[in-house]
Chain A
């Protein structure tokens, strides 16, 4: 009698059925779902609206004549469509999502409930300030927490995401250089090779030239190489800390001192602030600006790629250049500074139409109040503990990229796969079949075949043990030469590997009606 991996008996004759094709293409709970445009009723609608009166037309003769040609689904059809789609996604609520640098931690549902209070979710950014005092109080309270946790004197709340926060910080640096009359001469920004792609892209968007600093053998900024690159044309440096190798830049204060001595500013990428929240304040390390990803550190949901939120803390030197609008506490309550003329006029301007991601502010404050100062520190410690536990357990079969312990994420290279025929991508895809979302692959660029694992504080020890057991087993299988399994993976996911090259060569970016339908639509 054959056994499954839980030691329970299985009947061999049923095993033959597992690869059989079904009439529908469905596989039990995995149901194939067409696009809404394929079969949806082009004249239908799933909403009941009052009948128009047929009165009035002031549209200036610009009425839409063409058909919109989008189907409207009845509510049960729509519900079923999107629920079936949802079942093709992996999610944190289903299991570990160890994407290094992305911080996929638990998203508390209290946050969702709070953001939907009508007093937060149903207020307009341009209604009178006297009618939104509670909203301004919330923004001000969140700002106070962020300043306390970072040890910085000011925070710009409007950036919409991490990269937008970087833009905010670099714009403030540029404005400060302009105020010093040095914007034309200080045109170079230094960034380590291991930086997120957003760092060089942001610097370029601000008109700076980007100069890359190599990493040293320990995975940190090469201090000597960095010092050599300093000069009168340097606007500043962008450093992630803890860095993308999951290591704390132990020379950070020397870096800050050196860049300040050279007349530049220190932008710290705060993507990994979750590792040190409550443990150390970036303000005590000499930085000038840092964005905080509320969707990483403070548990607002990633939502399949956004929305994010990137409040940016600023030093005394940069604070006067912060973007409008911002909240101040006045004698009759909170006020909103919306125009440059209200302050000394040094603000670099406006980054977005309104006040930033209010919905994310509510969620983040809900998380902070729940955790408190003590809980936030414990969360950082648990995140670091979990990552080091994974590092310790996996290093028997996998190869850590650097010696020693790590911060909140464990970085491996692909040396353990050498000569196996299996590469990092194959290894990641095999994890999918085991029921896990893969780790971050091929990033940071400074490590060959990088695998960056960030478990976060949300994982229980038991869950980490199962995860490590699975990875150890895969590593052993790869070394044992089971290449075929890895090259074929995933085989149990809703889709096999997808042809990304083909997708880019001939991009199909929208649905178009089949030729026969198109002809009949045109004839209407």
Chain B
């Protein structure tokens, strides 16, 4: 039991100081017949044995880096510099707590302040919080925030919003009795969402690039929303896109939520990730989540603290802006370190490489007989219409060690017209050999 420092002599001495003869005297309040149940679990094991068991499970999975890999739709395979993982494993970051004692947590607080600044700059917004669980829960929180600001209860969601984000947002908004309206999906990005916005609308939620990969101009949506007194919530699931694209802030968004995983965080089969949340200065007191702010110490030196905590559950309890307590601190650190290495210049280069890979792949795949490129615009992800069921094609390609993308049936299980769609993502990790291998295999299986 290598994690337990006490030995039997210590335990006996300590029991004596406490004044109990047996440890179970300290569990006297537990109903007797329920104490010390027999458990059908193995006994403790050494490191090597544990590594063997978990190593065998890991070996059954096809890692993204083990060959051609084109899966995106909300999580992306990017290269993470070695420095990032080293920094986040430093004891002082890894094994510290929420910075409630700021005098001995300036390390955490300063990187959160840097993180907030980076997120605000990327999204083109005034302020950002210190992170959320992930992009989808940030999206749900944004809808609740829009309700608090507008005092209205109708959420309008674009058909180009990631269906899982839409589903999470609906789960949360319907709980408090809000109407949730879905615009129909338009895989070509030519969606007419303006008609859905009316005087009852609290917010309209639009993703760019959307789930099909289309780059969306949010300016007309922002204008229409503001005209009716509603807020525009912009969703970005691929944060690297902001190295190439106009920021949502420049297009008039009131709240921007994003998945930050692409910068600094591994795929991790869906989590932990890092939700980004940014808004206009005037809405800052309605924001969910922790915020880090600058201040002075008693000696007049600059320092940082968690601030505006009167919004939060540990102070406001049932009147809080959100029940959220934990954020995604360590993933926010990974984001900050990676972004500090990239800088604006590196992010632009990275975005360009991603886009060029997508252009090459889209040209190569849409040249295949029967395969149609659905998009009119895209960043690093696009949608193909295949001549047969895309879930089957993905399985066939997986047999050939090519992980081809996300089939429509996986995201819209009940919509027949989506069944032949395949969403394909390319990052800087996709090589021309991968694209050739994909194209050759796709020809074989169609």
Contact = CB atoms under 8 A, between A and B. Distances in A.
Contact of A357 (B53, B271, B398): B271
Contacts of B130: 305
Contacts of A389: 14, 17-18
A262 interface: no
Interface stretch (A9-17, A166-174, A226-234, A471-479): A166-174
Contact of A87 (B60, B92, B292, B307): B92
Interface in A363-399: 365-367, 369-379, 381-382, 384-386, 388-389, 391-393
16 contacts: A49-B349, A62-B246, A69-B121, A118-B63, A128-B403, A163-B324, A250-B31, A299-B3, A303-B93, A323-B171, A353-B136, A369-B54, A370-B45, A375-B4, A457-B3, A498-B298
Residue among A280, A359, A495 with the most chain B CB within 10 A?
A495
A509 interface: yes
Residue among A201, A247, A362, A382 with the most chain B CB within 10 A?
A201
A59 B242 CA distance: 12
B3 A370 contact: yes
Contacts of A369: 42, 45, 49-50, 53-54
Q: Is the interface of A mostly helix, strand, loop or mixed?
A: loop
Interface in B10-32: 10-11, 13-15, 17-20, 23, 25-31
Interface string A56-95: 1111111111111111110100110111011111111110
B356 interface: yes
A182 interface: no
A38 to B, nearest CB: 10
A271 to B, nearest CB: 10
Residue among B4, B45, B245, B270 with the most chain A CB within 10 A?
B270
Contacts of B90: 82-83, 86
A285 B268 CA distance: 35
A108 B114 CA distance: 29
A332 interface: no
Contacts of A46: 81, 340-343, 346
Contacts of B229: none
A215 interface: no
B95 interface: yes
Bin chain A's interface residue count: 35 or more
Interface stretch (A99-107, A311-319, A414-422): A99-107
Nearest to B47: A110
B389 interface: no
Given A164-B137, A353-B270, A94 B297 contact: no
Interface residues of B, number: 209
Interface string A235-254: 00000000000011110110
B228 interface: no
Interface string B44-56: 1111011101111
B326 A304 contact: no
Interface in B234-278: 242-247, 250, 259, 266-272
Nearest to A51: B349
Contacts of A108: 3
A89 B106 contact: yes
A463 B217 CA distance: 60
Contacts of A26: none
Given A46-B343, A58-B378, A375-B44, A305 B326 contact: yes
Contact of B131 (A47, A306, A356): A306
Given A37-B117, A160-B134, A85 B268 contact: no
B199 interface: no
Contact of A124 (B25, B43, B269): B269
B430 to A, nearest CB: 12
A281 interface: yes
Contacts of B410: 126, 338
A302 B96 contact: yes
Interface string B318-356: 111011111111110100010111111111111011011
A75 B316 CA distance: 43
A70 B350 CA distance: 14
B193 interface: no
Interface string A201-231: 1111111001000000000000000000000
Nearest to A139: B269
A35 B114 contact: yes
Contact of B330 (A47, A301, A386, A502): A301
A460 to B, nearest CB: 4
Nearest to B292: A509
A58 B244 CA distance: 11
Q: Which 10 A-B pairs have the closest CB atoms?
A: A72-B343, A354-B270, A119-B58, A60-B377, A68-B344, A134-B60, A303-B330, A56-B359, A373-B41, A125-B270
Contacts of A470: none
A44 B343 contact: yes
B369 to A, nearest CB: 22
Contact of A72 (B18, B342, B376): B342
B109 to A, nearest CB: 9
B31 A171 contact: no
B365 interface: no
B101 A432 contact: yes
B57 A89 contact: no
A508 interface: yes
Contacts of B69: 124, 127
Contacts of A110: 47, 50-51
A203 B18 contact: no
Interface in A269-324: 276, 278-281, 284-285, 295, 299, 301-309, 323
Given A124-B269, A134-B61, A205 B51 contact: no
Contacts of B117: 35, 37, 510-511
Given A197-B316, A499-B297, 7 more contacts: A46-B341, A71-B340, A85-B111, A197-B317, A353-B165, A354-B134, A388-B20
B137 A121 contact: no
A161 interface: yes
A60 B3 contact: no
A137 B57 contact: yes
A443 B313 CA distance: 13
B438 interface: no
A280 B81 CA distance: 45
A122 B305 CA distance: 35
A123 B37 CA distance: 37
B50 A495 contact: no
A382 B4 contact: yes
Contact of A284 (B37, B101, B362): B37
Contact of B293 (A45, A97, A107, A503): A503
B406 to A, nearest CB: 5
Contact of B341 (A72, A85, A132): A72
B349 A45 contact: yes
A62 B217 CA distance: 7
B71 to A, nearest CB: 5
Given A119-B60, A494-B104, A55 B291 contact: no
B60 A55 contact: no
Contacts of B28: 405
B97 A99 contact: yes
Contacts of B231: none
Contact of B1 (A70, A148, A371): A371
Nearest to B352: A52
Given A35-B114, A104-B97, A503-B294, A385 B245 contact: no
A83 B164 CA distance: 38
B54 A353 contact: no
Contacts of B290: 305
Nearest to B325: A163
A304 B307 contact: no
A91 B305 contact: no
Contact of B359 (A58, A349, A381): A58
Contacts of B187: none
B62 interface: yes
A355 interface: yes
